[in-house]
Chain A
């Protein structure tokens, strides 16, 4: 009886994802340990007294295991049933934090519960993902309609706006990853092209003088009108479209970007963006990125060996057990180790997409794609910022960076997906 139950308990679990999850978490623990451990430290003592990040992370891992077990034992229908409720609760929590939250490093996004700090912005990713899945899978939703699309986009962007108000821009940006899910569910591909063009536009607005850009836009517009003059003769609205694009780009470059930079973004964010673009050389602003690149670059091909990195172990890299945890891997294990480590993520992401595609229920598929998008966005931006490809925005490396909120959120994200996958024969709405 007992044995049969045990078999039942692990039945349906997707072992590749389970293995990759455990592998990445293990690397994370090793990395946090490497960033903190000093020769002569009493490891057991530190673990028992929870006075080191790695010992606390170990504790959070325990908590996460309990949460995972609870999720695994929960019926899948629970998640569809409570998705909207959880979303509403998450929004309330975000608003609550905005009111009474604790100010940590310039952002008001932390709740203090007992002795622990907790960041609801992490948790609302899960709620939003559930709510989005719930909405897209409901019978009334016709995602080909503009109205449905607007509702879906709003679901993703409302928490994003609140989080921006909390000054956690990095975490807020993560919500844009839901566009990937919506693309999968039918959002026109042209939007991705527009988004990409938008990024190019912003970058060029930052890099090139706005007057020169205006001239370039005008020249391109004139050329386009000249070459498509026959088409324009046939269809006058085409001219309006072209002129509209020209007007939008010009206004955007001439007014919106300068306005955003002076009024909306914080000084440090502007500086970070400028540093990344190579426009500014302020040593204080470049310090983090510079030290991080030195640490990773000095790892060489095979790395310095575990616990032998001089940069990460002697506090040259700031935030090295949280946002810059990848430095430890880069320095200790080199290019070789980094590629294997990134390979673990790629394998996880591709497996999640594989799992998503085998779902019968739209809810499960959307949810799984959401998980993939969030993990991908976090991983790509986090690693990019440590190697100077992206500005330093504080988002953690999933399952690796030190932090209870982050670890628990990603654990729950993945285990709900595993639960849904185990019940993929069911139709969930």
Chain B
């Protein structure tokens, strides 16, 4: 029996071995020959996650961080992966209705297609984020939470300088310049954030994570062997002094205008205030879009950086420049005098001068101190009519070259975007304006800073640097240093621009004249105890079209200055729009800023003066009425003047 069945045992053994060989052959093809499975496995289990580096911090000149980073979360959606989720529950968390839910999904599909990631709800408020995070597994893989860095501003100041970051737009993504960005990335939109985007953004890293079947990350893939570390953005160190910035914003409350202070030794901008301003924290976080539209449509235009974008007639503050050109050209000497008796009448019309007494323009120093209009319009005529030019057209062009080299009439190239060029008319412009028929009388007002010359406050402050430095300047800039910098971004700010070659002896009368303005002239309110301040008031006339008619508006109050007289450390320009005399508003504001900067504190004696300044309200009542700014204003929005004063005076 057993012998008979022997072959059957063999058959059974062969069946077993045959089956096993079949299985092993299949395994061989599956595991050894076919390579696609490991790729599929990686596609299944490896999650490629972009790690956003922390954005660079911006520090002021004393190392205080003017802004810092906070983390917030966006809810992003990949429409094609949205399946079988509890829509009602998600709507409840996000506090939207189903209609809105559908609308957002449709919007995402239209915007980025159904396979790409779109933002579904951005910058979730903390409590919403908390609830979502708990229930996220229910909404995956269609929905994900993505961390976003947002800025916060501890000093609530310098909104227009720092700028804000916003989501990259689809239009931007089309351009090669933005190839490094992905949908949903944030980048600097204005201000320093935009100019220094390349250094602030850092370098994104990539992290490979292992995920499970529900897309939940389970830890690093291969112990992070393939990860690229994110490189944090570089920090910016500014010349800006945040104390001065806050003080400036306080002083400019309820006023329209600006303050620009520059360190003449380096060109570093110490403070740049554009009033009215706003709290930069409004443009971060969950309510950014709403706040932005409110700021954008406000009647007082807080997003408009007047310090670099608004053009003003420089007024009397132009006079030292006119003098400098005349001295440099050798058409006058400091002892040059002009017989003014209250008006300049050489051009067939009278240009009024505030002074009538004889000898108020007996020499350059007196002319500056007394701000004699006649003297300076005459200087302009002398400059352009000088015989060596051979004609007013060449002479005017020469004048224009000077003015240009002083930084007027073109963009200075400050390191925040949006700068306005201002205006300084050249010969071609004159030819066009007067159809070729003109002479030195035609636009002689430019000699006293009126007419065809317009400057931004920053240009005026820069002109003061030239006077303070006796003939040179550095391009005004905010960023003094970039940590670990290997870029060439700052080289242009290190370059010295020498624009006049006047001997000190010729120069000093201009400076003395400006000293006299503050010591005993129109700028007395700018006096600082223990410092010699050189300044120049200006009361720039301005006209605007109101209700279709050209109307003369209240003068702008202008004051430019530098201090101390010897080895100046600060040059400043202050403009308060439609406020009246330079001596009343602009001068004391400039003085307080300079005192704070030079002495690091403000003398108690000036408390009443500061209180008055804080309480001045020069806003047009109509504009004030329509503005919703009170709720949006910057650091000083809700404070009374006494509360602000307490910050500066201890008692």
Contact = CB atoms under 8 A, between A and B. Distances in A.
A401 interface: no
Nearest to A316: B213
B82 to A, nearest CB: 17
Interface stretch (B1-9, B243-251, B603-611): B1-9
B27 A357 contact: no
B45 A316 contact: yes
B23 A294 contact: no
A316 B26 CA distance: 21
A339 B11 contact: no
Contact of B31 (A301, A357, A384): A301
Interface string A329-353: 0110011001100100110011001
Nearest to A383: B23
Contact of A310 (B19, B34, B41): B41
Given A184-B9, A310-B41, A316-B44, A349 B16 contact: yes
B13 A315 contact: no
B211 A389 contact: no
B212 interface: yes
A306 interface: no
Interface in A301-337: 301, 310-311, 313-316, 330-331, 334-335
Contacts of B214: 315
Contact of A311 (B9, B15, B34, B45): B45
What range describes how many residues of B lie at the interface? 35 or more
A300 B32 contact: yes
Contacts of A372: 12, 16
Contacts of B31: 296-297, 299-301, 330, 334-335, 338
Nearest to B210: A310
A84 interface: no
A131 interface: no
B28 to A, nearest CB: 6
Given A314-B212, A353-B13, A297 B34 contact: yes
Nearest to A356: B9
Contact of A357 (B9, B15, B38, B221): B9
A353 B37 contact: no
Contacts of A186: 5
Contacts of B46: 310
Contacts of A39: 219
B40 interface: yes
A224 B174 CA distance: 73
A259 interface: no
Contacts of A310: 41-42, 44-46, 210, 221
Given A183-B8, A349-B16, A297 B38 contact: yes
B22 interface: yes
A298 B15 contact: no
A277 B360 CA distance: 110
Task: Give the size category of A's interface with B.
Answer: 35 or more
A35 interface: no
B16 A346 contact: yes
- Of A186, A294, A331, A383, the most chain B CB neighbours within 10 A belong to A294
A395 interface: no
A353 B9 contact: yes
Interface string A216-234: 0000000000000000000
A180 interface: yes
A387 interface: yes
Contacts of A180: 12, 15
B627 to A, nearest CB: 58
B212 A389 contact: no
Nearest to A295: B41
Contacts of B19: 376, 380
B20 interface: yes
Interface string B188-218: 0000000000000000000000111110001
A314 B218 contact: yes
B175 interface: no
A334 B30 CA distance: 10
Contacts of B28: 335
Given A294-B44, A357-B2, 15 more contacts: A185-B5, A291-B44, A294-B41, A296-B30, A299-B31, A301-B32, A311-B45, A314-B210, A314-B211, A314-B212, A314-B218, A338-B31, A380-B23, A387-B23, A388-B26
24 contacts: A180-B12, A183-B12, A184-B5, A291-B44, A294-B37, A294-B40, A296-B31, A297-B30, A297-B37, A298-B37, A298-B40, A300-B31, A301-B31, A301-B32, A310-B45, A314-B212, A316-B213, A331-B41, A339-B24, A346-B20, A350-B13, A380-B23, A387-B27, A389-B26
Interface of B: 2, 5, 8-9, 11-13, 15-17, 19-20, 22-24, 26-28, 30-32, 34, 36-38, 40-42, 44-46, 210-214, 218-219, 221
List 9 tightest A-B contacts by C-beta distance, closest first. A297-B37, A298-B41, A314-B212, A310-B45, A335-B31, A298-B38, A315-B213, A297-B30, A298-B37
Interface of A: 38-39, 180, 183-186, 189, 192, 291, 293-301, 310-311, 313-316, 330-331, 334-335, 338-339, 342, 345-346, 349-350, 353, 357, 369, 372, 376, 380, 383-384, 387-389
